[in-house]
């Protein structure tokens, strides 16, 4: 081969390599195309405690003019107010046009903002907002705002959408305000507080509790088993999902944490739609006898201890708590009979002396109909035996239990079979029967007086 021919081949080879390199550079997958728009995909408007991460990432989507996703586009994230921090300040969009970062809120309560900008076009940006509070969610704020009142009013919640008011007016569901009248013949004035549409309590309302902020929490079963927050204007919003359809009792702890119990044991509910279980000794299989009574639990207003009934050995259990921190082993407080354990239909703890009161109505599988008192040391006594009211239907069918708060001396339950509010005076050791006041122009029933009794929830407004 001549020298000239060799040089020609060498030049052609170099040119070919250069062409391949040029072509590869043009097709480099790392070379981002040009996008035209950016929008928020998710993560806007979140709330959490100051100095903590928000639940969801701040996510944007980058698109071309035709709306298709624009991959491989650099997006810059920047905190513009509130003093928060980001997990990353630059992210490249994936094949779906998605880029994101995670925000930890600033150290003080207030608004936080984050701007997301296309690196290729600074005029294309969106801004996320988030709120930092002194608590993880608004429901934990201890400042009380009265939304339902007045204080001390007894509130009854229907469970089976069967509550009716005056005959001929049709059935309604919701909350009744029940006002005891002690002068003259004991009786109660009954009035609708919140009348709920049928689609809200279509299936089974279960229990209710007032939160530290004055919010009303309702456990109910419809399409799903959940706890919702009900407002006086009848609007409601989802708070947390329940894991088991047997969960029916809820109670607010002194630390503003909503507690409950189902057949697996006690749990805590959080505003981030979380359900937290406690250690293994308070978690059961929920099968056969290895389960809990889901109709009776309570939290001590003085020290936050949680009480529930375990069916495996028919005992009242106490779980020592400080907020969500377990401070000791699960304790057996007292032994119950099988009818007392299975027939418990309500439980409260006195904030004055930490005595536990348990309503038992074992109908129709048994005959025990009592209110039990259990001291912190485990001494169990029968406070009241409903059979002293008479035999059969005269003894009534009682459901749920409420206690006048802040050292009050009155226990409340509802005899749904005989349409009465029953008030037990702890100071006088007497039971007062209070039927609806028939002298009132607007007369309302407390229950429908079904033959098997109507399941209700009852509480006293703080």
Q: Is residue 42 part of a domain?
A: yes
Residue 6: the pLDDT is: 44
Give the three-state DSSP class for 12. helix
Measure the N-to-C terminal CA separation of the chain; round to a whole number of Å. 105
What is the model's pTM? 0.72
Residue 279: CA count within 13 A, CB half-sphere: 12
CA distance 342 to 332: 17
Residue 223: the pLDDT is: 67
One domain, residues 47 and 178: no
One domain, residues 309 and 278: yes
Tokens of residue 400, six digits: 């749920």
Using CA of residue 8, residue 10, residue 16, residue 22, what is the dihedral sign?
negative
Q: Is residue 179 part of a domain?
A: yes
With contact defined as beta carbons under 8 Å apart, do 126 and 38 qualify?
yes
Q: Is residue 5 part of a domain?
A: no
Residue 16: the pLDDT is: 43
Q: Are strands 90-92 and 37-42 parallel, antiparallel or unpaired?
A: unpaired
One domain, residues 443 and 308: yes
Distances (CA, A) of 235 to 123, 197, 437: 40, 10, 31
With contact defined as beta carbons under 8 Å apart, do 214 and 231 qualify?
no
**Bridge partners, residue 458, by sequence:** 156
Residue 354: the pLDDT is: 93
CA distance 220 to 269: 14
One domain, residues 152 and 258: yes
* CATH code where residue 49 lies: 2.60.40.10
Give the three-state DSSP class for 399. strand
**CA proximity to 266, closest of 240, 237, 236, 286:** 286
The count of other CB atoms within 10 Å of the CB of residue 43 is 20
One domain, residues 443 and 336: yes
Distances (CA, A) of 359 to 317, 342, 363: 16, 11, 12
CA distance 451 to 454: 8
Q: Is residue 28 part of a domain?
A: no
Residue 307: the pLDDT is: 97
Residue 165: the pLDDT is: 44
DSSP string, 16-73: HHHHHHHHHHHT-TTS-----EEEEEE-TTEEEETTSB-SS-EEEEEE-TTS-B--S-
With contact defined as beta carbons under 8 Å apart, do 416 and 399 qualify?
yes
Residue 375: the pLDDT is: 97
Q: Is residue 21 part of a domain?
A: no
One domain, residues 268 and 307: yes
Q: Is residue 239 part of a domain?
A: yes
- Write 240-246 long-range contacts (CB < 8 A, 24+): 240/269, 240/270, 240/271, 240/273, 240/274, 240/275, 241/273, 241/275, 242/275, 243/267, 243/275, 244/286, 244/294, 245/221, 246/286, 246/294
The total number of structural domains in the chain stands at: 2
Residue 218: the pLDDT is: 84
Residue 153: the pLDDT is: 85
Residue 404: CA count within 13 A, CB half-sphere: 14
Residue 161: the pLDDT is: 41
With contact defined as beta carbons under 8 Å apart, do 301 and 405 qualify?
yes
With contact defined as beta carbons under 8 Å apart, do 292 and 284 qualify?
yes
One domain, residues 70 and 185: no
CA distance 298 to 46: 32
CA distance 188 to 415: 13
CA distance 344 to 362: 7
Tokens of residue 162, six digits: 């069967």
- Phi, psi for residue 3 in degrees, rounded to 5: -60, -40
**CA proximity to 454, closest of 387, 399, 409:** 399
Q: Provide the residue range defining the domain that includes 291.
A: 139-460
CA distance 141 to 133: 9
Q: What angle do CA 301, 302, 306 make, to 5 degrees?
A: 60
Give the three-state DSSP class for 11. helix
One domain, residues 204 and 82: no
**Among candidate residues 108, 134, 160, the one where a domain is terminated:** 134
Would you give per-residue pLDDT tens digits along the chain (462 residues)? 444 444 334 333 434 434 444 344 444 445 555 667 899 999 998 888 889 888 789 999 999 888 888 999 999 999 999 999 999 999 999 999 999 999 999 999 899 999 999 999 999 999 999 988 887 766 566 666 777 777 888 988 875 444 444 444 555 567 888 888 888 899 998 887 776 665 555 556 788 888 777 788 888 876 678 888 887 777 778 888 888 877 678 888 877 788 999 999 999 887 777 888 888 789 999 998 999 999 999 999 888 899 999 999 999 999 998 877 888 899 999 999 999 999 999 999 998 899 999 999 998 888 999 999 999 999 999 999 999 999 888 999 999 999 987 666 899 999 988 989 999 999 999 999 999 888 887 777 787 766 666 778 888 887
Residue 208: the pLDDT is: 85
Using CA of residue 143, residue 227, residue 316, residue 416, what is the dihedral sign?
positive
Q: Is residue 29 part of a domain?
A: no
* CATH code where residue 361 lies: 2.120.10.30
Give the three-state DSSP class for 419. coil
């Amino acid at each position: 081969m001549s020298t000239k021919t060799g040089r020609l081949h060498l030049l052609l080879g170099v040119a070919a390599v250069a062409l391949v390199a040029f072509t590869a550079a043009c097709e480099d997958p790392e070379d981002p195309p040009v996008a035209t728009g950016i929008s928020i995909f998710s993560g806007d408007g979140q709330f959490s405690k100051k100095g903590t991460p928000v639940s969801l990432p701040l996510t944007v989507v980058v698109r071309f003019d035709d709306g298709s996703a624009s991959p491989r586009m650099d997006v810059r994230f920047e905190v513009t107010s509130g003093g928060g921090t980001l997990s990353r300040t630059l992210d490249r969009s994936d094949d779906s046009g998605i880029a994101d970062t995670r925000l930890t809120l600033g150290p003080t309560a207030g608004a936080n903002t984050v701007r997301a900008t296309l690196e290729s076009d600074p005029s294309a940006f969106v801004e996320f907002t988030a709120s930092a509070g002194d608590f993880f969610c608004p429901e934990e704020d201890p400042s009380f705002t009265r939304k339902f009142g007045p204080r001390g009013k007894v509130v009854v919640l229907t469970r089976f959408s069967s509550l009716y008011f005056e005959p001929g007016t049709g059935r309604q569901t919701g909350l009744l305000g029940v006002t005891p009248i002690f002068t003259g013949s004991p009786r109660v004035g009954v009035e609708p507080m919140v009348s709920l549409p049928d689609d809200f309590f279509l299936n089974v309302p279960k229990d209710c509790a007032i939160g530290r902020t004055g919010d009303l929490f309702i456990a109910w079963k419809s399409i799903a088993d959940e706890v919702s927050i009900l407002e006086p204007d009848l609007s409601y919003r989802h708070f947390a999902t329940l894991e088991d359809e047997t969960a029916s009792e809820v109670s607010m702890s002194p630390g503003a944490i909503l507690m409950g119990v189902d057949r697996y044991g006690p749990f805590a509910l959080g505003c981030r739609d979380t359900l937290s279980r406690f250690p293994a000794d308070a978690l059961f299989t929920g099968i056969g006898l290895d389960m809990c009574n889901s109709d009776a639990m309570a939290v001590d207003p003085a020290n936050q201890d949680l009480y529930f009934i375990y069916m495996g050995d028919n005992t009242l259990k106490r779980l020592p708590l400080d907020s969500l921190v377990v401070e000791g082993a699960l304790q057996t407080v007292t032994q119950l009979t099988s009818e007392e354990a299975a027939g418990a239909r309500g439980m409260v703890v006195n904030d004055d002396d930490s005595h536990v009161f348990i309503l038992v109505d074992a109908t129709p599988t048994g005959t025990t109909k009592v209110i039990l008192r259990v001291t912190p040391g485990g001494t169990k006594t029968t406070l009241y035996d409903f059979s002293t009211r008479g035999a059969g239907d005269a003894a009534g069918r009682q459901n749920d239990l409420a206690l006048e708060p802040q050292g009050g001396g009155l226990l409340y339950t509802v005899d749904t079979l005989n349409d009465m509010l029953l008030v037990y005076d702890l100071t006088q050791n007497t039971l007062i029967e209070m039927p609806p006041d028939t002298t009132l122009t607007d007369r309302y029933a407390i229950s429908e007086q079904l033959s098997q009794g109507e399941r209700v929830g009852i509480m006293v407004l703080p």
